[in-house]
Amino acid sequence: MRRIAFLYPGQGAQKTGMAQDFYEKSEAARSIFERADQVLDFSVCDMIFHGDDRLDQTEYTQAALLTACMAITAELTARGIRPDFAAGLSLGEYGALTAAGVLSFEEAVRLVRKRGIYMEQAVPAGEGAMSAVLGLDAGSVERVLAELPGVEIANDNCPGQLVIAGEAARVAEAGERLKEAGAKRVVSLNVSGPFHSAMLAPAGVRLAEELANTEIRKPRIPYASNVTGSLVTEAEPIRRLLADQVSSRVRWQDNVKALREAGATHFIEIGPGRTLAGFLRKIDRSLHCCNIEKWEDLEQLESFL
Per DSSP, the three-state class of 41 is: coil
Which one is catalytic: 131, 192, 196, 225?
A: 196
CA quadruple 131, 133, 138, 143: dihedral sign: negative
Identify the band that residue 8 occupies on the pLDDT scale cut at 50, 70 and 90: very high
Residue 51 has pLDDT above 90, yes or no: no
Report strand pairing: 288-292 vs 161-167: unpaired
SS3 assignment, position 157: strand
Measured distance CA(21)–CA(29) in Å, rounded: 9
pLDDT for position 126: 87
Residue 272 has pLDDT above 90, yes or no: yes
Per-residue pLDDT, averaged over 274-297, amounts to: 96
Whether 26 is catalytic is no
Q: Domains for the chain: give ranges and CATH numbers.
A: 4-122+198-304 (3.40.366.10), 128-188 (3.30.70.250)
Q: Give the pLDDT score at 125.
A: 83
pLDDT of residue 199 exceeding 90, the answer is yes
CA–CA distance, 257 with 259 (Å, rounded to integer): 5
Q: What is the pLDDT of residue 1?
A: 84
* Mean pLDDT, rounded, of the chain: 96
Overall average pLDDT of the 24-38 stretch = 98
Tell me which DSSP letter residue 250 carries.
Answer: B
Q: Could you tell me which of 227, 216, 214, 231 has the C-alpha nearest to residue 83?
A: 231
Which pLDDT score is estimated for 10? 95
Cα 243 from Cα 236, distance rounded (Å): 13
β-pair partners for 182:
none
What is the tally of helices (H) and strands (E) in the chain?
13, 10
Query: Which residues are 164's β-sheet partners?
Result: 131, 153
What's the CA gap between 165 and 174, in Å, rounded?
Answer: 10
Confidence of residue 156 (pLDDT cuts 50, 70, 90): very high
Q: Quote the CA–CA distance of 126 and 137 in Å, as a whole number.
A: 28
Which pLDDT band holds residue 188 (cuts at 50, 70, 90)?
very high
User: Is the separation of the CB atoms in 91 and 112 below 8 Å?
Assistant: yes
pTM across the whole model: 0.96
Pick the catalytic residue from 90, 192, 225, 248. Answer: 90
Does residue 288 carry a catalytic annotation? Answer: no
DSSP string of 168-212? Answer: HHHHHHHHHHHHHTT-SEEEE---SS-TTSGGGHHHHHHHHHHHH
Contact assessment for residue 122 and residue 261, using Cβ atoms and an 8 Å cutoff: no
Predicted confidence (pLDDT) at residue 302 exceeds the cutoff of 90:
no
Q: Average pLDDT in the 145-172 region? A: 96
How long, in residues, is the chain?
A: 305
Query: Percentage of the chain surpassing pLDDT 70?
Result: 100
pLDDT above 90 as % of the chain: 95
Please check the confidence at residue 190 and state whether its pLDDT lies above 90.
Answer: no
The confidence score (pLDDT) of residue 103 equals 98
Question: What confidence tens digit (pLDDT) does each residue in 87-133 have?
Answer: 999 999 999 999 999 999 999 999 999 999 999 999 988 899 999 99
